[in-house]
Amino acid sequence: MGKIEGAQGGELGELLESATEQRELPVWTTATPQDLAVICQQLGRPVQSVLGVVLRCRWGRPMVIASPPLSVRTRRRPNRLRPDWEPFPNLLWLSCPYLAAAVSRLESEGWIRRWRREVETDPAFAAELSAAHQEYARWRWWAVEQVQRQDEEVRRCLAAHPEAEQVLRETGVGGSRDWQAVKCLHAHLAHYLAGGCNPVGRRVAGLLREGGVDVAGDPSCSSEKPCII
């Protein structure tokens, strides 16, 4: 699923150097069995379903992935098993453990608090952030529409549970209901790297580069190991 190939190689470098190459909608390529194995190792857990790989690092490994907007959990009920569908608002997921660890360090340094305070004092920043949340919600609902075309069970779920549709339509980055909120920096960076107009993600990428983090991929990932965890 997706309209064009994800950014790779030189295109990735250009994307990370500026925020000019923005996308109207998210794009991804189908995850191969090898991709799924790498993603499982990156996340340290089994992965039930992946819509696709949105962005790869310079070594060709998944960096940002697209997750299904609805997740299914089979729960045991008396005399039967019943699948429960739940909204999953994190459409874009930063799977690269190298970047995820670096972003976690920024969070521990208090950058979420700093930018939350800036939102309260800088109307331009607040407006740009609000637009990013709205764009993320639009991207997510577009993904929902693609999934609905292929899965009748998803269509029935949304028809029967309007509250799930509301979550998927009306929440922003990281599932935030406040469209001027700074929540998870990993989610903001994933949105930016996917081509989203996200001011927080752009700043996160800038801080990482200033700190010596290679946003296009850690050199040690060129080894034969599938990824770093």
**Cβ proximity of 22 and 197 under 8 Å:** yes
Asked if the structure places residue 2 within a domain, the reply is: no
pLDDT number for residue 20 = 37
Asked if the structure places residue 164 within a domain, the reply is: yes
Asked if the structure places residue 42 within a domain, the reply is: yes
Asked if the structure places residue 58 within a domain, the reply is: yes
Q: What domain range includes position 162?
A: 9-220
Burial of 194 (0-12, 13-18, 19+ CB in 10 A): buried
**Cβ proximity of 191 and 198 under 8 Å:** yes
For CA atoms 48, 51, 56, 59, give the dihedral sign: positive
Q: Which string of b and e fits 130-144 if b means at least 16 CB within 10 Å?
A: bebbebbbebbbebb
Q: How many domains does the chain have?
A: 1
What is the CB neighbour count within 10 angstroms for residue 184?
19
- How many helices (H) does the chain have, and how many strands (E)? 9, 5
How many whole angstroms separate alpha carbon 83 and alpha carbon 11? 41
10-residue averages of pLDDT along the chain (229 residues): 37 45 84 94 88 94 92 54 70 95 98 97 97 96 85 78 86 93 96 96 97 89 53
pLDDT number for residue 8 = 42
**Cβ proximity of 97 and 227 under 8 Å:** yes
Tokens representing 44 are 């340290």
Asked if the structure places residue 225 within a domain, the reply is: no
Asked if the structure places residue 14 within a domain, the reply is: yes
pLDDT number for residue 47 = 85
Tokens representing 54 are 């949105």
How many whole angstroms separate alpha carbon 23 and alpha carbon 20? 9
pLDDT number for residue 223 = 61
pLDDT number for residue 225 = 53
Asked if the structure places residue 4 within a domain, the reply is: no
Tokens representing 94 are 């930063």
E-only strand ranges, the chain: 52-56, 62-66, 70-77, 80-87, 92-94
Asked if the structure places residue 1 within a domain, the reply is: no
Burial of 93 (0-12, 13-18, 19+ CB in 10 A): buried
What is the CB neighbour count within 10 angstroms for residue 79?
5
